[in-house]
Structure 1
């Protein structure tokens, strides 16, 4: 019954999506061939699961999942290779939501994950509707068919695989030697893009894709943490050396600088160890995304779109330009940094930072700026004439003891 239910999706809304894709033509039609291919690959996997028990070896399971994950990566690579396409929003709608097929690796509740991926593509489907609803109704039907495909997929998963993929057979399948062959050449896969977004797709093993899809909203789980052996109050020797202790087994030889990183990991964008790069662009970011900069030197980062938050950690002479922020922008342990926001930002936090220039837009004048242990901070406020008024953030305070034996702190202005 599970296989038949999935076949109904392929023959129903997915077939309608493919039909409208062919009518639209161009990149949309070519992209849809990959989409049909990945659904057929998953159907084959579900047929296997209906006849077998779950493989005891996780590596064997990854081999069976590899055809699906390979084509998902190819669908997303196609979008990256065709950023100048007039149908870029169509390609993005599919690329952002196609990881829904990763539900087979999600437990204990894969159905909400499918809905989350369907919602992830809504930003771009709305753009398609906005751009095309008055020009060509086929694009409206295309959107409806794709959204319906994932809606029915969610219902299918909820009905047949409520707590995770069900393996219905008695005997575990034997993984073929060398893995399952790649998809047939009748629908050629595009080569990976040259940019760093596809760094994780350059290898032969796509298993990492399914290892990441179950992280959900835990977008900060991989950020660097200060452990107890790195804290100076627990290790007084660090105050003299100024460096974290070398753990057992580590080499005493100075390690070279780490290679630069610019990658998107689910909802999190990681920009690390970049030097003198003024063309760092975070494009098509979404409202639930987080951008994390770490140890960037003399760089400029531009963020397009409205995102959740930005963290700039241990960066030097680095500027960041943003459209709008949902939550906050944080500077930590930085030197000579700048930010400019054109839209709205509720909170800006500056901690242990020397030299911070904050350029605000007209929509962000109600911002709250929280500072601590920082110096040389200026907020530049826009005027009606297009110029900025520079205001210094106080660094010096005077504290006295009141008759009630409480503390009273006031700002001490330094007027030179």
Structure 2
């Protein structure tokens, strides 16, 4: 045993001597040779692609800003600074692994300051003659925050682009005749946003890519020059020389170690025998002893870092009042000047907020012990993820939604007696209402939290367990007006916003499509199952239309294509690529051989025939076209766009027959009545209009105006439509409601809540009183209506 141990020790000594000799040789070489120069820094591929996409447009935009002068010239520096910080952040991400939330907050601090600077500039220049320019830039710069969106950066940036395009289009409209530097400035900004959007979609589809080139980071020089001329990193400083004293000490220590190992067989003589009383598994008294520290140092306990406290703010960003991080502030007052303004209250604690004036919507998110008092709302009040909330309305309140909230007390005025309350995953909810007309006192009632479900007489009966408020519902009502399986049906399956949805001509099924680039087909009756999904578009699907017998479905989208699908096989049988920009709307003729008309951002309305690959008709306009339809005889194309007017093109003469003027903002949808005599138009001026489009009609073709619809900053193309008898019309709204009006009386007969986002499309069933609505909350509702002469 001892011979084996000695042999192993001698082998170890030999290996250590060889290692020491190598170390001495390498040390001599390093001290004699000069330091090697550092290799030239390489620019990450992601930055090269970003510069290639945006560099030219940034220079053009800055040059035009200087030419315009004034506030636009001042805006130039904000644009450059923000885009530079954005470029640096992407470059930094190329060299790092994704940090935690605290680390990301520190990294994006510089970019956040630049975005806030743009917002402050906008707030301080509300009276500027270039306010549209400022708003367009502020909305676009806000989209640079896509870099911290983990999974959906493209929709985040796309929302900012759409907001910016609203102001860009206003500039284009204001200077459409002269086409001066303002026109070119707006056009260049739009092209810059388009290229940046394409870059994000292609290279950062599911979030910013981190650590693609480990170790790289931008410097002051690289952030100011282009990627083609990146300077090299200076060589590292020479290593510090070792003093002779430290070297001698090291050598003496090694020698002592070698001497102790070269003792031969006596190497084990100093080893001590471990007796049983020294072994913890045999001596229980040793198990409770604590291991003493040999170096005498005391360890430090690791404590969690303190949460970052955000500064309170009350900010108007041109779309929404943002009230955030208010703590023990009971004097918050916001004055609303326009009914389109929305209020967003985030993470406020022990505060009282007063809203003066009638607003659109109010949202409380993540608040605690907060009270909100407001004069009234056009839309809904929403309470999410909060605790101990009090909400009081002094006027009207159509609907209040309470979600994931513990403790919410709602005070309803006499004017809000018909308020609808929707709750889910919430507790301790109470309502106080003024029920007595002769008294100002409030009567308090508790909202039920538990329900009892039972089957009686082959019907499902639901009742509230709380006896203070009994609510009963019958899943199978006696007075049914349609063949739907239930009075209200909820469909879900899309992965993004739904922009369009239509019933088939016979009403047996419906189609829906939107941001997820897919077309879903659903049964209307029975289980309403999703029986097919049509795939092929490479961008969001903007509009759908069935032909006269529902054998074909036409679709269009942001991929600039118009497609036709066979409803029997689900195959794409036509793919027209005549447009050069986004295709916003589509329509199929009612009579004669099948033809399709489409409207696009390239300013054209085109007509396609199934028998030809190219467009057979092209009607050019100066500005983007957003809505289109055929007349009943299919001999005229009716289209509208951002020019706020509707052009009726005669297909035989290839010229404008007449123009319908009256709207004050972009036309979002057009629909011809089933009898072919009237046209319904929807516009971003928050109105719907009906027109007489019969031939030989006096000059006054405008028949009626309908109000109630709201177009928020989202600026989606809200669809509209007619009932089979042309007695009722319908439209969605950005305030989360679906509307139905009586055409003759102009009265709103239905204002239906339920959606949690903008209702982008509504449609009325061709044979039964069923309303279809689809929206930005990725959901579809089928609702049974009770209407006479439907």
TM-score category, normalised to shorter length: 0.5 to 0.7
Residue 339 in 1 paired to residue 388 in 2? no
- TM-score if structure 2 supplies the norm length? 0.30
> SS state of the match for residue 419, structure 2?
strand
Q: Is 1:99 matched up with 2:142?
A: yes
Asked whether 1:72 is paired with 2:115, we answer yes
User: Structure 2 CA distance, aligned partners of 1:83 and 1:135?
Assistant: 25
2:356 maps to which residue?
Answer: 301
Check the 8 A contact 1:22/1:29 in 2, yes or no. yes
- Equivalent residue in structure 2 for 1:4, among 33, 48, 70: 48
Query: Offset of 1:45 from its aligned partner?
Result: 4.0
> Does residue 189 of structure 2 align to residue 146 of structure 1?
yes
The aligned residue for residue 281 of structure 1 is 335
What is the total number of aligned residue pairs between the two structures?
295
Query: Shift in Å at residue 334 of structure 1?
Result: 4.7
Structure 1 segment 263-282 matched on structure 2, within 5 A: 263=315, 269-270=322-323, 275=330, 280-281=334-335
Q: Distance in 2 between matches of 1:77 and 1:309?
A: 23
1:120 aligns with 2:172: no
- The whole-number CA distance in structure 2 between the counterparts of 1:85 and 1:281 is 22
Structure with bigger RCO (C-alpha 8 Å, 6+ apart)? 1
RMSD between superposed Cα atoms in Å: 5.1
Q: Quick one: structure 1 residues 13 and 287, their matched pair in 2 at CA, closer, same or farther if it must change by over 3 Å?
A: farther
1:264 positional shift: 7.1
The answer to whether residue 320 in structure 2 is matched with residue 262 in structure 1 is no
Larger radius of gyration: 2
Q: TM-score, normalised to structure 1's length?
A: 0.53
Q: Which residue of 1 aligns with 2:553?
A: none
Deviations, residues 260-314 of structure 1 (Å, cap 9, x unaligned): 8635799773376654665x1357997886457987659443466xx45456996
**Equivalent residues in 2 for 1:4-403 (5 A)?**
4-50=48-94, 52-54=95-97, 64-129=107-172, 131=174, 133=176, 137-163=180-206, 164-171=208-215, 262-263=314-315, 269-270=322-323, 275=330, 280-281=334-335, 290=344, 299-302=354-357, 307-310=360-363, 315=371, 318-320=373-375, 324-325=378-379, 328-329=380-381, 333-334=390-391, 337-339=393-395, 347=399, 352-354=409-411, 356=413, 358=415, 369-370=419-420, 373-376=431-434
Distance (whole Å) between structure 1 residues aligned to residue 145 and residue 163 of structure 2: 14
Mark the runs of 5 or more structure 2 residues left unpaired by the alignment: 1-44, 225-310, 384-388, 403-407, 422-429, 446-456, 464-469, 471-790
How many Å separate the matches in 1 of 2:381 and 2:364?
A: 6
CA deviations on 1:181-238 (whole Å, 9 max, x unpaired) are 9x99xxxxxxxxxxxxxxxxxxxxxxxxxxxxxxxxxxxxxxxxxxxxxxxxxxxxxx
Other structure's SS at 1:262 match = strand
Q: Point out the structure with the larger strand share.
A: 2
CA distance in 1, matches of 2:105, 2:129: 36
* Secondary structure in structure 2 of the residue aligned to 1:107: coil
- Most deviating of 135-144 and 53-62: 53-62
Alpha carbons 2:313, 2:322 under 8 Å: kept: no
Contact kept? 1:114, 1:150, Cα under 8 Å: no
Which has the larger helix fraction? Answer: 1
CA contact (8 A) 2:314 2:321 kept: no
Q: Quick check: 1:56–1:172 contact (8 Å CA) kept in 2?
A: no
Report how far residue 166 of structure 1 moved: 4.0
Residues 299 and 20 of structure 1, relative CA distance in 2, 3 Å threshold: same
Q: SS of the counterpart of 2:356?
A: strand
SS at match of 2:394: strand
